[in-house]
Amino acid sequence: MQAVILCGGKGLRMSNAPDLTPKPLVKVGGMPLLLHIIKLFQTYAIHDFILCLGDRGEAIKEYFYTLDWKAHDFKLTDKGVEYYHQPENWNIIFADTGKDTQTGGRLKRIEKYLTGDEFVLTYCDGLADISLPKLLAWHKKMRRIATVTGVKRPSAFGIMEESQGLVSIFREKPMLDGWVNGGFFVLKKQVLKYIQGDESIWEEEPLQQLAAEGRLALYRHEGFWQSLDSPKEVQLVNAMWARKERPWVVW
């Protein structure tokens, strides 16, 4: 099975960095976020990846192209380069899906690289300890063409309940009711028919239409999940890493 990772969004302006850093290359525990996600998939025997590149995609290409000689010892001879480590067990397609293409459009553009009837889709903007075997088993059980992972997230603010002008209950940032998109999907290839073109936003019309037709299943993930949409959230998970609190590290 292949894993498609959306890597084309705008970057983050991290502290002391003059330019935006592509989210896939934002460091968590000294390692790019993208590698954390790839290692999660590899734990569950998924080694074939399609990266949907966009803004600053060349930086992601360069990182992987130079990874071996930057990260490992090697010997240069008249016959070429000899590395002193086992090669990574992955096959990665680096697909340029356009700088301003929307998420649905990026997915549509890599259709030609999909080799099977089903694939996994995720974003490169979060971390989770999701069990892919359980997600895949649920997708199979529900017999739908698409399954989305739902997660709970805390409110950004404290919640108050009022009685006769007085605060009767105060809860500091409780978990919100309902499920939000946790960013891990199992999809049949036919979902690409719901995407019209580059301007199609996957989270809007395609998913809304699939839901309206009863073709979108929900897998409930109640474990760890953390979005990384801001420098503050990146600092949060790096602080967790420093404390050796790493629930997403299942590899």
How far is residue 126's CA from residue 33's CA, in Å, rounded to a whole number?
Answer: 8
The reported pLDDT for the residue numbered 191 is 98
The reported pLDDT for the residue numbered 67 is 82
Burial call 12-24: b when 16+ CB within 10 Å, e when fewer: beeeeeeeebbbb
pLDDT tens digits, 62-113: 999 988 767 777 778 888 777 767 778 899 999 999 999 999 999 999 999 9
The reported pLDDT for the residue numbered 206 is 96
pLDDT tens digits, 203-220: 999 999 999 999 999 999
Instruction: Of 111-125, 162-176, 191-205, give the lowest mean pLDDT range.
Output: 162-176
Domains, the chain, ranges and CATH? Answer: 2-148+180-242 (3.90.550.10)
Higher pLDDT among residues 164 and 213, named by residue = 213
Sign of CA dihedral 23, 43, 188, 151: negative
